[in-house]
Amino acid sequence: MIERTFVMIKPDGVKRGLAGEIVSRFESRGIKICAMKMMRIQKELAERHYAEHKGKSFFDPLLGYITSGPVICMVLEGDNVISIARTMMGRTNPQDADPGTIRGDLAMQTGRNIIHGSDSSESAKREIELFFNDYEILKYDKPDEPWIYE
């Protein structure tokens, strides 16, 4: 089933110069990028994005971290892309993430795990709407799709 998900390269991933490698991993897998932009998240948007964590001990440090520098936000599209992107990212704690995953190869600690991805179709829809307007999300055909999908 073709679906969309939201993925964000966090400030540590951008500042460490890992954006190209991360984007390349998704493209090499055959995942379509429908939207991408670099931005600095304002506190109000960060609070809405992480609303489910409000009141937890790590909420304020998380807001400080995610607003500390530029991020790259993407809308990815593909068959079962939510699950595939999460598998490619690896476990939240990079020390538990498998080698070959983005976090397993490129990160060391949970507080600096370089990437975020939606965990369900509901969160994907909500996060995409937080960060993108409809006109920013492009529909197009990739010429290699017949070699990716049966």
Whose tokens are 């939207």? That residue is: 35
Q: What one-letter code names the amino acid at 106? A: L
Q: Domains of the chain: which residue ranges?
A: 2-140
- Active-site amino acid positions: 116
Per-residue pLDDT of the chain (150 residues; tens, 9 = 90+): 899 999 999 999 999 999 999 999 999 999 999 999 999 999 999 999 999 999 999 999 999 999 999 999 999 999 999 999 999 999 999 999 999 999 999 999 999 999 999 999 999 999 999 999 999 999 999 999 999 999
* CATH number of this structure's domain 2-140: 3.30.70.141
CA–CA distance, 7 with 3 (Å, rounded to integer): 13
Instruction: Identify the CA nearest to 115 among candidates 79, 88, 146.
Output: 88
Whose tokens are 């599209």? That residue is: 77
Q: What does the pLDDT read at residue 1?
A: 87
Q: What does the pLDDT read at residue 17?
A: 98
